[in-house]
Amino acid sequence: MELDRVDKKLLQLLQLDGTLSLAELAETVNLTTTPCWKRLKRMEENGIISKRVALLDPEKLGLSFTAFVQVKTSDHSHEWYRKFVEIISEYTEVMEFYRMAGEYDYMMKVLVADMKQFDLFYKRLVNSIDGLTNVTSTFAMEPLKYTTALPIS
């Protein structure tokens, strides 16, 4: 799907404030509400807008401990991969999960309250999955940049 200047502007606006009304969006991009709604609907149907959510402040919810967990495995079979993804997907502490190229096979961003909670997560992780050969964790000292807005140009 080709995006024109107006589509891109709508996406930028929604990324900054998902609570903007249809009327506010339409006015900002110089459209009436019906064509604006049709553009948004088309982008939703094409999967460009995948969902609309509220972003929460983890600190205010007592989730101030961020760990990056890197994993190496000795098993690269499809069956092991499928099971690993299924297990990790159930861990609510895992905010992001990637298959990597390079020294480690997988990386996770884990968000918990403190080191004690991370230790519980870590023990659960290493005891629930066979074939892990190395699990290394690093801890964030201070968040310097965080955004959910994609760089649309």
Whole-angstrom distance, CA of residue 52 vs CA of residue 54: 7
* pLDDT tens string 99-122: 999 999 999 999 999 999 999 999
- Which residue ranges form the domains of the chain, and what is each CATH number? 5-45 (1.10.10.10), 59-139 (3.30.70.920)
- Average pLDDT of span 1-14: 97
* pLDDT tens string 35-94: 999 999 999 999 999 999 999 999 999 999 999 999 999 999 999 999 999 999 999 999
| HEC profile of the chain | CCCCHHHHHHHHHHHHCCCCCHHHHHHHCCCCHHHHHHHHHHHHHCCCCCCCCCCCCCHHHCCCEEEEEEEEECCCCHHHHHHHHHHHHCCCCEEEEEECCCCCCEEEEEEECCHHHHHHHHHHHHHHCCCEEEEEEEECCCCCCCCCCCCCC
* 92, HSE (Cβ side, Cα atoms, 13 Å): 4
The pLDDT assigned to 65 comes to 98
- Average pLDDT of span 132-148: 96
Whole-angstrom distance, CA of residue 64 vs CA of residue 143: 10
pTM for this one?
A: 0.89
The pLDDT assigned to 8 comes to 98
- Average pLDDT of span 137-149: 96
61 alpha-carbon distance from chain centroid: 18
Q: Is the pLDDT of residue 138 over 90?
A: yes
The pLDDT assigned to 89 comes to 97
The pLDDT assigned to 153 comes to 86
The pLDDT assigned to 125 comes to 97
